[in-house]
Structure 1
Amino acid sequence: EADCPLGSRAARILRTVPCMMLARSLLLGLLLCRTAAVRFRNASDAAAVRVAGSSAHPWPAKNGNFKRTGQAQWAAGPTDLSEAAWVFEHEANEANGFFYQSPLIDSNGNAHFSASNGMQYSVSPSGKVNWRVKLPAVNAPNGQPPTPVLHGSALYTVDGQGSLVVLSLDSGKELLRKRYALGSGSDSWSMGFDEETQTVFALGFPTVDGFAACGYGGTHLYALDMHDGHIKWTYQLKKCNCNLMSSTVDGQVIFSDWVGNTYALDVHTGKELWVQPGYGDKSFTTGTAAVSETGLVITAANRHESKGVVKAFEVRTGKLRWERFFAREANNAPATYRDRNGRLLAVMGIANNAGYPNPSLEGKVSFNGTVFALDAETGETVWKFSPPEWKHPACAGSTSEEICLPDAFTNPSVDSKGTVFIGWMGGFVYAIDGTTGKGVSSWETRSGMQGAPA
């Protein structure tokens, strides 16, 4: 059976209320249920994050770039997370839109993010809404908007009808709409992009049978022309995916599915270059793959009985470089960066996910999690950071009226100085010294969160 396993996050997406976090140069922000908060060191410094004369976007995709390394090239984040500078909240007529995806940052410091009800927002560095656009048909079986990608003057996303939608970054004006599939699937998947071939990558399913097989996941990867939206090629996954985050590097598209199969395809043709097997139908993960600056594909998956594993493969051959096994689950993608000693590290959170709010279990269950920084070349543990034990059956902020079912940790993000930012289901965002593993600061969100920092 290919459905998301009972109890998995992907199987429980309806009526969930996860959150997102933004982190960039002078700001750190969060999308909390229907509310977004963004913090600047001081608002007058917003323009300082821009590169004079540059149209490059500092955070154009989830995990920061199209390789998904998770590190900002030049932007240093805040180390004091004590308060928010401004708060964004849904208008009354935009209710029932939960923030499930990750924010992006354009070259002018604007934040771009989507909600599960189809709303796409652009918000200025001072918290002013630049524009908002409603995308159609986000109800099952079609899906909800993914985390988009930014390129040039446009934002590339997908609506609930399985159409590629291109919007102007300046105005939100629709520049292109082209249907490529019956639907895209739901959950927190992300668009991908390849500069060389001018291709965007999207998740989808071509038939109702595909939806029935995967629930809220997708069965196919679609390579779409960024200019007119035509399908260049499609690839059917060996298992479904509800949290796709494809990386592009050296003419390859790299990604993994929900049982941990890891794929490398030719970016021009979709031909399989190599596939490394995962752990079969009894396993499930929302973890995904990222590519380091040295060409290592680092993936997160789970074995049977909720045991996590992190692996590193050589990008050209798929050869296994190393693997690490953990007693708890691996349900997010790693970030890779160099610490102050020049050592290349891979950092990610390891923890079992909380479940539904259940008053009868209060005081009877608890969750522990650890952020591990591993030597990216060997898999050796360099440092560990553990938030306080979470002593509740559900994540922070989850109630029977508004159920929040995020992963225990968000994907981590790392600024140019090596500070690691990561969210924890106990309702805190942490800034961690990426060289020592020492906690620098934290912000209590009072809610779990799903989106990755930016």
Structure 2
Amino acid sequence: MGVPDRRLVDSSPAVAGSAVYFSSRDGFLYALNKTTGALLWKYNTGGSDIASPAVSGGVIYSGSGYPNKSVFALNADGSLKWKFDTGQMVYSSPAVSGGKVYIGSNDGTYYALDAATGDLVWKAATQGGIYFSSPSVDAGMVIAAPGDYDLNVYAWNAATGAEIWKTELPNDGRTFVSSPAAGSGRVIIGSGFPAHSLHALDAATGQVLWSAPLGDATAIGYTSSPALTASHAFAGSGGGTLYAVNLSNGDIAWEFVTGGAMVSSPVVAGGKLFAASGDGVLYAFW
């Protein structure tokens, strides 16, 4: 089927048209036929890649890790459209909106690039390295949380990069954060050290509205990124419990205990909730 040769795949797949796209630590970005799994093409990045690609307008965008330090765009046939070099490895995944690509680099900087040319539009520095947390775009803002030793959540104007607000998460010491999810006027984000908590911020002001403890942190400190509906946020914990949290007040609506740590992020689709656990099981709820 053209899949990687016994190398780790940390990337989440992106599905567009008849193809599935994903990165691998073997240094290739793969395009497979989504019906048959047949290899359509693979692009050699030469990096140990864990970023999840994004597809927009028939173009595939992604980042490349060690020894590379780049963000790149591929045409639908797998040929290189453009490449932009940052100051360090890129493990964050891109968000594409309004003709721009937004992505974080391990150099502590979030970049806004022109989606057509790869030219730099703006960049914003943070106080720490950016590893796996990826930006979200909502209501004309780019919202991001670098994690590592930077305890802040940032919001920038998506067009200009001007800072709108910056809020420190209510946590002590080093914190690892999930990627933010934005909707219904709120930003929901998880922090994973010293314990796993879910936080709600006002999307307009950055004010912390509530924080909900969700059990133990994962062994490596990273947290499940939340999935949102109009009324609830869903996230897993290192203790193996999946939580449904009321968006209005942070109260836990229900919880379900699995047999392993939950590091991956749940997905809401077609009125159903899907979540994977370290026990090797994919769960569906409706």
State the TM-score, normalizing by the size of structure 1. Answer: 0.57
Distance (whole Å) between structure 1 residues aligned to residue 185 and residue 180 of structure 2 = 12
Distance (whole Å) between structure 2 residues aligned to residue 112 and residue 414 of structure 1 = 20
- Is the CA contact (8 Å cut-off) linking 2:33 and 2:40 kept in structure 1? no
Task: Percent identity, please.
Answer: 21
- Is the CA contact (8 Å cut-off) linking 1:349 and 1:369 kept in structure 2? yes
Structure 2 vs 1, CA of residues 323 and 431 (structure 1 numbering), >3 Å: closer, same or farther?
same
Partner of 2:103: 202
Structure in which a larger fraction of residues adopt helix: 1
Partner of 1:413: 267
Structure 2 vs 1, CA of residues 309 and 201 (structure 1 numbering), >3 Å: closer, same or farther?
same
- Is the CA contact (8 Å cut-off) linking 2:111 and 2:120 kept in structure 1? yes
Q: Which of 112, 117, 125 is matched with 1:223 structurally?
A: 112
Structure 2 vs 1, CA of residues 190 and 263 (structure 1 numbering), >3 Å: closer, same or farther?
same
How far is the alpha carbon of 1:232 from its aligned partner?
1.1
Write the deviation string for residues 328-363 of structure 1: whole angstroms up to 9, x where unpaired: 12712100014xxxxx11000012xxxxxxxxxxxx
Distance (whole Å) between structure 1 residues aligned to residue 276 and residue 192 of structure 2 = 20
Write the deviation string for residues 153-187 of structure 1: whole angstroms up to 9, x where unpaired: 11112334333322223x2222x22333143334x
Distance (whole Å) between structure 1 residues aligned to residue 170 and residue 122 of structure 2 = 27
1:257 maps onto 2:128 in alignment: no
1:377 maps onto 2:280 in alignment: no
Distance (whole Å) between structure 2 residues aligned to residue 279 and residue 297 of structure 1 = 14
Partner of 1:361: none
Letter of the 1:423 counterpart: A
Letter of the 2:126 counterpart: L
- Is the CA contact (8 Å cut-off) linking 2:71 and 2:86 kept in structure 1? no
Write the deviation string for residues 260-313 of structure 1: whole angstroms up to 9, x where unpaired: 421101112222111111367832324221012x1210010034xx31221111
Aligned length: 278
Structure 2 residues not aligned, in runs of 5+: none
Distance (whole Å) between structure 2 residues aligned to residue 377 and residue 222 of structure 1 = 32
Aligned-partner SS, 1:426: coil
Structure 1's consecutive aligned runs of 4 or more residues displaced over 4 angstroms after TM superposition are: none
Distance (whole Å) between structure 1 residues aligned to residue 171 and residue 198 of structure 2 = 16
1:429 maps onto 2:282 in alignment: yes
Partner of 2:73: 166
Structure 2 vs 1, CA of residues 279 and 337 (structure 1 numbering), >3 Å: closer, same or farther?
closer
1:348 maps onto 2:238 in alignment: no
Structure 2 vs 1, CA of residues 321 and 284 (structure 1 numbering), >3 Å: closer, same or farther?
closer
Structure of higher RCO (CA pairs closer than 8 Å, 6+ residues apart): 1
Partner of 2:191: 301
Distance (whole Å) between structure 2 residues aligned to residue 284 and residue 323 of structure 1 = 15
Partner of 1:284: 175
Distance (whole Å) between structure 1 residues aligned to residue 29 and residue 46 of structure 2 = 13
Partner of 1:77: none
Structure 2 vs 1, CA of residues 387 and 159 (structure 1 numbering), >3 Å: closer, same or farther?
closer
Partner of 1:103: 13
- Is the CA contact (8 Å cut-off) linking 1:287 and 1:301 kept in structure 2? yes
- Is the CA contact (8 Å cut-off) linking 2:224 and 2:265 kept in structure 1? yes
- Is the CA contact (8 Å cut-off) linking 1:163 and 1:177 kept in structure 2? no
Distance (whole Å) between structure 1 residues aligned to residue 85 and residue 121 of structure 2 = 10
Q: Which of 152, 166, 178 is matched with 1:275 structurally?
A: 166
CA RMSD of aligned residues (A): 2.2
Aligned-partner SS, 1:240: coil
Query: Within 5 Å, which residues of 2 pair with 1:36-435?
Result: 88=1, 90=3, 95=5, 97-108=7-18, 110-138=19-47, 144=49, 146-160=51-65, 161-169=68-76, 171-174=77-80, 176-186=81-91, 189-195=92-98, 198-204=99-105, 217-259=106-148, 260-278=151-169, 282-292=173-183, 294-303=184-193, 306-329=194-217, 331-338=223-230, 344-351=231-238, 368-388=239-259, 390=260, 408-417=262-271, 419-433=272-286
Structure 1 residues not aligned, in runs of 5+: 1-87, 205-216, 339-343, 352-367, 391-406, 434-454
- Is the CA contact (8 Å cut-off) linking 2:212 and 2:250 kept in structure 1? yes
Distance (whole Å) between structure 1 residues aligned to residue 171 and residue 179 of structure 2 = 16
Distance (whole Å) between structure 2 residues aligned to residue 145 and residue 308 of structure 1 = 23
* Structure (1 or 2) with the larger CA radius of gyration: 1
How far is the alpha carbon of 1:103 from its aligned partner?
0.6
Distance (whole Å) between structure 2 residues aligned to residue 266 and residue 312 of structure 1 = 20
Aligned-partner SS, 2:229: strand
Aligned-partner SS, 2:113: strand
- Is the CA contact (8 Å cut-off) linking 1:178 and 1:230 kept in structure 2? no
How far is the alpha carbon of 1:138 from its aligned partner?
1.1
Letter of the 2:248 counterpart: E
Aligned-partner SS, 1:245: coil
- Is the CA contact (8 Å cut-off) linking 1:184 and 1:203 kept in structure 2? no
Distance (whole Å) between structure 1 residues aligned to residue 123 and residue 29 of structure 2 = 26
